[in-house]
């Protein structure tokens, strides 16, 4: 009987874990992770004595591969996340709540009933979305979102109240730089799909409990070998298979951020492609008050404020008095502020959104800055193929998923794609049946 192939996975973010879950049962797996815990950019961290997510995340119903793999490792979606129909509630701006009707009526009804938008703007927005749908969500030539909005004659009000915050949330890239094709792909998968695809899934549990920790447990039960706290220095082709820091494997999946992949593989074409990637930060401010909090909705925005979205963590995960404020792709003037100054601005926004907290001092305040939170979803970004030019080495990570922004779903899809490609390329005698 032939031995099962030995496969190394480098990086236990959502992409690497997805690749491992996909390969389990077909190979002998070894997972190397530089951090002590799995989860990468979407995990729980210890910050000043408390456990917090390293950034507030949201998922949507269209994250099919995330949901499939969560189920596979035993996560109950309904316990793990609050599912609610698409809603957009920004104080001083647009308020839109879609009913649970079949698509596309839910969007149409939500738009017709929306407040903060005049009839001309509702018509402009519906027409712009419909024009994308008619073109099957593909542009003949990519351009910035800002340019496309001009061509669609979207009013300044609509751009500032709807498109700008939406593009920041979905792509973490300002619309003057953001790729319209990447935005169109996310709109296709959410608004262009079934009603449930546009649902918002708000985590009720911490990010590690959502997938990384159950995946790690499940993989260990399947016999995976876990090397946490191990930073791999080099991945090279060998006469047969690959060497991971000198250890032989039949194949490897490198599931790390672009800049780490370029350093690990020393492959000139990949290094050139990675140079084209730019990055944007995301700030998450956690404010804990010594009172019970009940926001009118679990996720709300503030038009013209510093924070983009505020999350009621007490309502979502039962953490008393805890709010999470997200600032996506913060402009340079915000990045230049001290932590204290930025937290004061966020506190002022919280006071506007929740007058009951006005004047109250939080008992704890934490600002988590992820400097390279996501790659910038810019125009003309080339994604490398998952089969690298180094023999028997495959690539995974959110940056590899074609036409997708940096998201959990992009990461998971890329991991699944790399795993399937690897299995397809192995001689059939080496593949164990599931
Ligand atoms: C603050 C914040 C908010 C976000 N909000 C959302 C959101 O609301 N919705 C959404 O869908 N997405 C969101 N994202 C994006 C999402 O978190 C990422 O797209 C996703 O986590 C990327 O996963 P990944 O596996 O591709 O990469 P990573 O998470 O970067 O995983 C790579 C792993 O490789 C490890 N590694 C690197 N080098 C080595 C080495 N040499 N040896 C061993 N291990 C190594 C790293 O430690 C890391 O664990 C957000 C991101 C941030 C930071």
pLDDT confidence bin for 428, thresholds 50/70/90: low
- 59-60/28-33 β-pairing: unpaired
- 53 alpha carbon – ligand 1 mean position (Å): 12
Residues 357, 308 share a domain: yes
Any domain includes 287: yes
Any domain includes 69: no
- 400 alpha carbon – ligand 1 mean position (Å): 13
pLDDT for the residue numbered 69: 98
pLDDT confidence bin for 3, thresholds 50/70/90: confident
pLDDT for the residue numbered 429: 56
Residues 283, 273 share a domain: no
pLDDT for the residue numbered 70: 98
Tokens found for residue 333: 């003037």
Q: Is the pLDDT of residue 433 over 70?
A: no
Mean pLDDT of 196-203: 97
What's the whole-number average pLDDT of the chain?
A: 95
Mean pLDDT of 42-68: 94
Residues 224, 111 share a domain: no
pLDDT for the residue numbered 359: 86
Mean pLDDT of 41-62: 93
pLDDT confidence bin for 60, thresholds 50/70/90: very high
By the 8 A CB rule, do 314 and 294 touch? yes
Q: Is the pLDDT of residue 434 over 80?
A: no
Number of domains in the chain: 3
- 423 alpha carbon – ligand 1 mean position (Å): 24
Any domain includes 262: yes
Residues 260, 113 share a domain: no
Bridge partner residues of 9 (DSSP): 31, 253
Residues 351, 286 share a domain: yes
The share of the chain scoring above pLDDT 70, in percent, equals 98
Q: Whose CA is nearest to atom 14 of ligand 1?
A: 407
User: Tell me: the pLDDT tens digits for 254-276?
Assistant: 999 999 999 999 899 999 999 99
pLDDT for the residue numbered 360: 92
Residues 98, 57 share a domain: no
d(CA 253, CA 235): 10
Mean pLDDT of 280-298: 96
Is ligand 1 within 6 A of the CB of residue 12? Answer: yes
Domain boundary among 152, 173, 198: 198
Domain boundary among 180, 198, 216: 198
Domain boundary among 152, 169, 198: 198
> At 214, which CATH number?
3.50.50.60
- 42 alpha carbon – ligand 1 mean position (Å): 6
User: Tell me: the pLDDT tens digits for 129-183?
Assistant: 999 999 999 999 999 999 999 999 999 999 999 999 999 999 999 999 999 999 9
Tokens found for residue 299: 């996720």
Residues 211, 190 share a domain: no
User: Tell me: the pLDDT tens digits for 94-121?
Assistant: 999 999 999 999 999 999 999 999 999 9
Any domain includes 251: yes
pLDDT confidence bin for 324, thresholds 50/70/90: very high
Mean pLDDT of 302-328: 96
d(CA 181, CA 403): 7
d(CA 193, CA 86): 13
Any domain includes 75: no
Residues 190, 90 share a domain: yes
Tokens found for residue 176: 């003057």
Any domain includes 330: yes
pTM of the model: 0.96
Q: Is the pLDDT of residue 57 over 60?
A: yes
From 13, 54, 166, mutation site for ligand 1 pocket: most ligand atoms within 8 A of C-beta = 13
Q: Is the pLDDT of residue 1 over 70?
A: no
Q: Whose CA is nearest to atom 15 of ligand 1?
A: 407
Residues 271, 411 share a domain: yes
> At 342, which CATH number?
3.90.660.10
By the 8 A CB rule, do 66 and 412 touch? yes
Q: Whose CA is nearest to atom 3 of ligand 1?
A: 55
Residues 398, 371 share a domain: no
pLDDT for the residue numbered 432: 58
Is ligand 1 within 6 A of the CB of residue 210? Answer: no
User: Tell me: the pLDDT tens digits for 369-408?
Assistant: 999 999 999 999 999 999 999 999 999 999 999 999 999 9
Domain extent at residue 330: 279-375
Residues 301, 224 share a domain: no
Is ligand 1 within 6 A of the CB of residue 255? Answer: yes
Q: Is the pLDDT of residue 430 over 70?
A: no
Mean pLDDT of 247-257: 97
C-alpha neighbours within 13 Å on the C-beta side of residue 397: 26
The share of the chain scoring above pLDDT 90, in percent, equals 93
Any domain includes 325: yes
Mean pLDDT of 331-339: 96
Any domain includes 12: yes
Residues 22, 160 share a domain: no
């Amino acid at each position: 009987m032939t031995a099962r192939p030995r496969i190394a996975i480098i990086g236990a973010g959502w992409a690497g874990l997805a690749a491992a879950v996909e390969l389990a049962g077909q190979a002998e797996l070894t997972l190397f992770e530089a951090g002590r815990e799995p989860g990468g950019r979407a995990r729980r961290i210890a910050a000043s004595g408390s456990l917090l997510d390293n950034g507030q995340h949201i998922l949507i119903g269209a994250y099919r591969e995330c949901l499939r793999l969560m189920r596979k490792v035993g996560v109950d979606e309904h316990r793990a996340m609050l599912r609610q129909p698409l809603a957009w509630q920004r104080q001083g701006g647009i308020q839109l709540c879609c009913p649970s009707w079949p698509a596309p009526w839910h969007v149409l009804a939500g738009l017709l009933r929306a407040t903060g938008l005049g009839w001309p703007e509702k018509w402009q927005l519906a027409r712009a979305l419909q024009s994308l749908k008619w073109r099957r969500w593909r542009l003949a030539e990519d351009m910035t979102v800002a340019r496309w909005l001009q061509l669609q004659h979207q009013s300044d009000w609509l751009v500032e109240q709807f498109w700008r915050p939406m593009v920041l949330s979905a792509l973490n890239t300002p619309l003057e730089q953001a790729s319209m094709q990447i935005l169109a792909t996310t709109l296709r998968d959410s608004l262009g799909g079934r009603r449930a695809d546009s649902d918002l899934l708000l985590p009720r549990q911490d990010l590690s409990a959502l997938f990384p920790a159950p995946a790690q447990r499940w993989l260990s039960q399947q016999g995976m070998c876990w090397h946490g706290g191990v930073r791999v220095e080099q991945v090279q082709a060998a006469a047969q298979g690959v060497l991971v820091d000198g250890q032989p494997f039949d194949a490897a999946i490198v599931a790390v951020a672009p800049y780490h992949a370029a350093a690990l593989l020393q492959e000139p074409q990949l290094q050139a492609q990675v140079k084209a990637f730019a990055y944007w930060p995301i700030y998450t401010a956690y404010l804990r008050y010594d009172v019970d909090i009940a926001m009118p909705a679990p996720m709300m925005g503030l038009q013209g404020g510093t924070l983009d979205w505020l999350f009621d963590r007490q309502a979502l995960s039962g953490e008393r008095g805890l709010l999470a404020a997200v600032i996506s792709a913060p402009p340079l003037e915000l990045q230049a502020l001290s932590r204290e100054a930025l937290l004061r601005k966020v506190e002022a926004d919280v006071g506007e959104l929740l007058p009951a907290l006005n004047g109250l001092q939080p008992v704890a305040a934490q600002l988590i800055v992820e400097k390279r939170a996501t790659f910038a979803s810019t125009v003309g970004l080339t994604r490398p193929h998952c089969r690298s030019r180094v023999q028997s080495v495959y690539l995974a990570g959110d940056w590899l998923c074609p036409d997708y922004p940096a998201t959990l779903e992009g990461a998971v899809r890329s991991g699944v794609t790399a795993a399937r490609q690897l299995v397809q390329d192995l001689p059939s005698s080496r593949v164990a049946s599931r």
